[in-house]
Amino acid sequence: MKLELRGITKRFGALVANDHIDLTVEPGEIHCLLGENGAGKSTLMNVLYGLYQADEGEILLDDEVQHFAGPGDAMKSGIGMVHQHFMLVPVFTVAENVMLGHEQTRGPGVLDLAAARARVREISDRFGFDVDPDAIVEELPVGVQQRVEIIKALSRDAQVLVFDEPTAVLTPQETDELMAIMRQLKEAGTAIVFITHKLREVREVADRITVIRLGKVVGEASPQATNTELASMMVGRAVELTISKAPADPGADAFVVSELSVVDPRDQYVVKDVSFTVRAGEILAIAGVQGNGQTELTEAILGLQPRTSGSITLDGVELVGKSVRRVLDAGVGFVPEDRQEDGLVAEFTIAENLMLDRSVGEPFVKVGTLQLRELADFAQEKLEEFDIRAQGIDTHAGRLSGGNQQKVVLARELSRELRLFVASQPTRGLDVGSIEFVHTRIVQARDAGIPVIVVSTELDEVVALADRIAVMYRGGIVGIVPGDTPRDVLGLMMAGETTGAAA
């Protein structure tokens, strides 16, 4: 089935998220939609899928104009979507998830689970997915959950399949398998829209590439284009993929983690026997595919994980077993990976957010009372120093853009006396300008002699910042390698291959 989008425009208030976007996808074609975070790719696909209503423009399938009031209509017309955040009910079985919304029934509304199981098996066998229809989804690894999403779409005879940032949660190995699946689907005549911001994947699998930026199509590119060409189209100017930084001048071992293990609420080891050291004045990047224990590791450092064993010492002081307050007081600065959830209080003003982790004692509290004037002066100073674009210090943090929110978090964390700085996914979802700002600040912290840990799932970021790289896989560290280790070696390590770690 041929998909055509004509002049799609979607506004949110005064903001134009999609501005007259045209896109054509032929059957048996993989069409990549390339763009930065926030370029409007997901909005466009949500319009296509009936989740949003376009303000202007039309959607055509095989040259017929469609009107989608909701996802149900889109699905009926043969559009399927593999969502970035899987749309699977965690406590349901695979078969139940696949049948949900178009249930096979016998008698009055009684589910025909046998039929659903057979359907799952049939599709699973056809593409070699190896998915058990009776498995509970939440107990499946993410890669398999994604296959369930694909089965879900295929079980509705989707002719147009949209993959929204499908590789974010996959290992390079799983990514390769997904690519193979996409090619297989293409052979079967499915039209595929592949949304991503990762250049390697685009070049590998795409038949055609459409680049969008700030809600507009900026042009088409061929899969033969170089990374630099694609990147500059995507961000609108030549991009420096590396950051200028002086060679590290590491000091003594300042931060030592040994045999650290973390057990999660489901009684599983999410971090197991992890040991590493960070020297003063160096950046240790922790690389790895999302969900391999990085989050829990940083939380354990901060004292947020209740079931932690092993040892973490900072300048000789043991941190395991200490409360978050005591860990912060020991001089740990922390940028959490989800700034909206863990980094900021959206309803608080910028000023209030800047004192969030200093609500005890001087300078902002005297005899239990807030020192509002000191806070205002401090906030004003940081607003200027960190170039936070806001109306004033009384603007609510929830109203700021992502980049400015992250600057507030950085301003707060970097304005304390630090002995260790931990930044988890510090640039996730940020625009290029903000990314540069954040990276510069992190390098500055290193140059000031602070040991720095950066956790990132983006290989580009890891390579740009790291003096040394630790790769995590399934809760353990596969190896710790120098910052100039080739990417393909890192990629293998991210898939759990220890052989490459000898480098």
Partner 1 sequence: MTTTAPAPAASAPIVHEKALVRSWKTPIILGVFALVALLMAFVFPNSGETTFTLSTTVDAIQLAPLVVPTQITVIVVAVLLVLAALGAVAFVRFGPGRAPLWISVVFAVLFLFAFLTWVAADKNIPVPGMLVGTLALSVPLIFGALGGVISERGGVVNIAIEGQLLFGAFSAAIIGSITGQPVIALIAAMVGAMLVSFVLAAFSIKYLVDQVIVGVVLNVLVVGLTSFFYSKVLTSDPSLNSPVKFPIWPIPGLSEIPILGPVLFRQTVIVYIMYIAVFLVWFGLFKTRWGLRLRAVGEHPQAADTVGINVNRTRFWNVALAGAVVGIGGAYYTLDVVGQFGKEMTNGAGFIALAAVIFGRWDPIRATLAGLLFGFATNLQSVLGIIGSPVPSDFMLMLPYVVTIFAVAGLVGVSRAPAADGTPYIKS
Partner 2 sequence: MSDKTTPPAGETPEAVETEQVPVEQRAPEAPVAQADPPPAANRVLREILTSNWLISLLAIVVALLIGAILIAVTDPAVQKAAGYFFARPGDTFRAIWESVSGAYVSLFQGAVYNPKRGDFVNAIKPLTETLTFATPLITAGLAVALTFRVGMFNIGGRGQILVAAACAGWVSWSIDLPAPLHILLATVAACVGGAVWAGIAGVLKARTGAHEVIVTIMLNYVAFYLISYLLKTPGALQAPGANTPKSPPALPSAVYPTLSDLLGVGSYRLHLGFLFAIIATIWLWYLLNRSSMGFRFRAVGENPHAARVAGISVTRVYIVAMLLSGGLMGLAGASQVLGTTTTGFAAGVDAGIGFDAITVALLGRSKPWGVFFSGILFGALKAGGYTMQASQGIPIDIVLVVQSVIVLLIAAPPLVRSIFRLPRPDAEPPARRKRTTATPEAVTK
Q: Is 232 in the site for partner 1 (CB under 8 A)?
A: no
Q: Which is nearer to partner 1, 184 or 227 (CB)?
A: 227
Q: Which is nearer to partner 1, 107 or 247 (CB)?
A: 107
195 and 212 Cβ atoms separated by less than 8 Å:
no
Q: Which is nearer to partner 2, 9 or 313 (CB)?
A: 9
Q: Which of residues 37-56 bind partner 2 (CB under 8 A)?
A: 37-40, 42-43
Contacts of 157 (CB under 8 A, 6+ apart): 78
**For helices 402-414 and 372-385, angle between their N-to-C axes, nearest 10 degrees:** 120
Looking up tokens 């600065």 gives 333
Please give the single-letter amino acid code of residue 277.
T
| Contacts with partner 1, 104-143, as mask; x by CB under 8 A | -x---xxx----------------------------xxxx
Q: In 319-402, at which residue ranges do the beta strands (DSSP E only) sit?
A: 332-335, 365-366, 369-370
Q: Which of residues 368-387 bind partner 2 (CB under 8 A)?
A: 368-370, 372
| Contacts with partner 1, 265-284, as mask; x by CB under 8 A | --xxxx-x------------
Task: Determine which residue in the list 28, 310, 331, 429 makes contact with partner 2, applying CB under 8 A.
Answer: 429
| Contacts with partner 1, 136-175, as mask; x by CB under 8 A | ----xxxxx-------x------------------x-xx-
Which among 94-102, 210-218, 318-326, 441-449 is the span making contact with partner 1, rule CB under 8 A? 94-102
Cα separation, 385 vs 4, whole angstroms: 48
User: What are the phi and psi torsion angles at 257 (to 5°)?
Assistant: -110, 130
User: What are the phi and psi torsion angles at 394 (to 5°)?
Assistant: -95, 5
To partner 1, the closest distance from the beta carbon of 478 in angstroms equals 11
| Contacts with partner 2, 228-267, as mask; x by CB under 8 A | -------------------------------------x--
H/E element, 406: helix 402-414
**For helices 487-494 and 172-187, angle between their N-to-C axes, nearest 10 degrees:** 90
Contacts of 316 (CB under 8 A, 6+ apart): none
449 and 55 Cβ atoms separated by less than 8 Å:
no
* DSSP conformational letter for 311: E
Q: Which is nearer to partner 2, 343 or 475 (CB)?
A: 343
Q: Is 183 in the site for partner 1 (CB under 8 A)?
A: no
| Residue 89, token pair as written in the block | 């009910």
Distance of CA 500 to the CA centre of its chain: 26
Q: Where on the chain is the footprint of partner 2 (CB under 8 A)?
A: 12-17, 19, 36-40, 42-43, 214-215, 265, 302, 304, 306, 323-325, 327-329, 334, 336, 340-348, 352, 355-357, 359-360, 364-365, 368-370, 372, 389, 391-392, 395-396, 398-399, 401-403, 405, 429-431, 433-434
